[in-house]
Structure 1
Amino acid sequence: MTSRPISGASHSHSHYPPPSSSAGASFRGCCCCLFLLFSFLALLVLAVVLVVVLAVKPKKPEFELQQVAVQYVGINPTTASSATVSLAVRMLFAARNDNKVGIKYRESRFSIMYRGIPLGRGAVPGFYQPAHSVRRIETIIAVDRVSLLQADAADLLRDASLNDRVELRVVGDVGAKIRILGFTSPGVQVSVDCTIGISPRKQSLIYKQCGFDGLAV
């Protein structure tokens, strides 16, 4: 009896199905769901903040130069075409917050100038102001023997000796942020611009005129 060879038995191969793409699709689906969830939460928080802002109706901060006291003024000619200026001016600022929420002020710096020439600077440290409050802050601008040359020195000596009135300009930017439910608003800036006239003989203030340039966000 002859046995029949089993055809193709030695050439059989195992065939496996291609890897499934279900894992990648699930990962992409989870990322899409998380993105939609975070987008919804962000829009929800923004809507809540907008509702609170509309309900509170925040107002701009008021920062006013309330008082100016001249502590010392010294103007000395050094040569025929130059002079030195020394002075100390105490300034009292009043910050008023009429809002229902607090205001956080950053450090503010003020410069005192004569005919556009910077003479000295003063600083007001940063502070937090509660709602419906008024806070007074004091700073002193000191000028120590700043030299003026030629025409500026001649103008200063004439103003001091003939007119007994030296006009100075105080400028500075006050930065603040309004805090609502733990959220801080973008920076709000108020520019202070004051003109003061002082009497070197009497060592006193003659007049003060202030203006505000408005808001800059």
Structure 2
Amino acid sequence: MTSNQPNGDRPLAPAPAAFSTYNPRTPSHASSSATSLEGCCRCLFLLSSLLAFLALLVALVIILAVLPKKPHVNLQLVEVQYMSITADDSTASISLTLHLIFEAVNPNKVGVTYGDFWFTVMYRRIQLGKASIPGFFQEAHNMKQVAATISINRMSLLQADAAELIRNASVNDRVDLRVLGDVGAKIRVLNFDAPALQVSEDCAIVISPRKQSITYQQCVELGIRN
């Protein structure tokens, strides 16, 4: 067979096929692996944070529900600074200044936050006066005394109450009063306050108008309620 190529010319070499060179430093696989690792680390961090929060929450619930002991607020001392009773026909009026010292006891390993402490002085069913002590924070295992003074100026009583007051004061040298106390307390753990509890106390006191002093004092804690 006769060749069409010119005599003496060599056949042309076939053109090299196109190909891509593999570079082991290509970042596609490495970038994908790094992204997956970063995602796993983020998930583990979120999971560990959630578990830590749940553990803290469970511990807080256990502490608040099981371990705390109720705080106590007691009327320790009542001093009569002034007392005067005047009678006019079927009415009577009483003027009175009392100095009260309350003792707050926190037996817990955590602090207690108290709201304003309200106390009322009553004669029979009649409210003679009411005052308050500003709230405060009490450290763990702590005892704190707070004082207050209440002044009652010519509080009028009518009919049966007036007659009872005058008879007891003049004949028996005694005036029976009640001091009612009420305060809200919150146990604090890790800067979290538990739901408020109301601490109440009912104190019976007897005053001698002649001696201007307390002759009897008896207090009953009414307990803690939500």
TM class by shorter-chain length?
0.7 to 0.9
Any conservation in 1 of the 2:64–2:194 contact (CA below 8 Å)?
Answer: no
Looking at structure 1, the residues matched to 101 and 111 of structure 2 have their Cα atoms a distance apart, in angstroms, of: 21
Looking at structure 2, the residues matched to 113 and 127 of structure 1 have their Cα atoms a distance apart, in angstroms, of: 26
Any conservation in 2 of the 1:85–1:146 contact (CA below 8 Å)?
Answer: yes
Determine if the alignment matches structure 1 residue 129 to structure 2 residue 161. Answer: no
SS at match of 1:47: helix
Percent of aligned pairs sharing the same letter: 49
CA shift at 1:52, angstroms? Answer: 3.9
2:86 corresponds to which residue?
Answer: 76
SS at match of 2:160: helix
- Tell me which structure has the larger Cα radius of gyration: 2
Looking at structure 2, the residues matched to 54 and 87 of structure 1 have their Cα atoms a distance apart, in angstroms, of: 43
2:59 corresponds to which residue?
Answer: 48
Any conservation in 2 of the 1:174–1:192 contact (CA below 8 Å)?
Answer: no
Structure 2 unaligned runs (5+)? 1-49
Any conservation in 2 of the 1:73–1:87 contact (CA below 8 Å)?
Answer: yes
1:73 alignment partner AA: M
| TM-score for both structures, normalised by structure 2 | 0.75
Looking at structure 1, the residues matched to 113 and 60 of structure 2 have their Cα atoms a distance apart, in angstroms, of: 18
CA shift at 1:50, angstroms? Answer: 2.2
Select the residue among 210, 214, 217 that pairs with 2:223: 214
1:61 alignment partner AA: P
Select the residue among 65, 84, 99 that pairs with 2:108: 99
Structure 1 unaligned runs (5+)? 1-38
1:112 corresponds to which residue?
Answer: 121
- Counterparts of residues 1-217 of structure 1 (less than 5 Å): 43-53=54-64, 57-78=67-88, 80-217=89-226
CA shift at 1:172, angstroms? Answer: 2.0
Any conservation in 1 of the 2:112–2:185 contact (CA below 8 Å)?
Answer: yes
Which 4+ runs in 1 deviate beyond 2 A?
A: 39-46, 50-55
CA shift at 1:136, angstroms? Answer: 0.3
CA shift at 1:42, angstroms? Answer: 7.0
Deviation string 1:147-205 (CA, Å, 9 cap, x unpaired) is: 00011000000011000000000012111101001111000111110000000011000
CA shift at 1:48, angstroms? Answer: 3.0
SS at match of 2:164: helix
Looking at structure 2, the residues matched to 167 and 185 of structure 1 have their Cα atoms a distance apart, in angstroms, of: 38
1:191 alignment partner AA: S
1:174 alignment partner AA: V
CA shift at 1:46, angstroms? Answer: 2.8
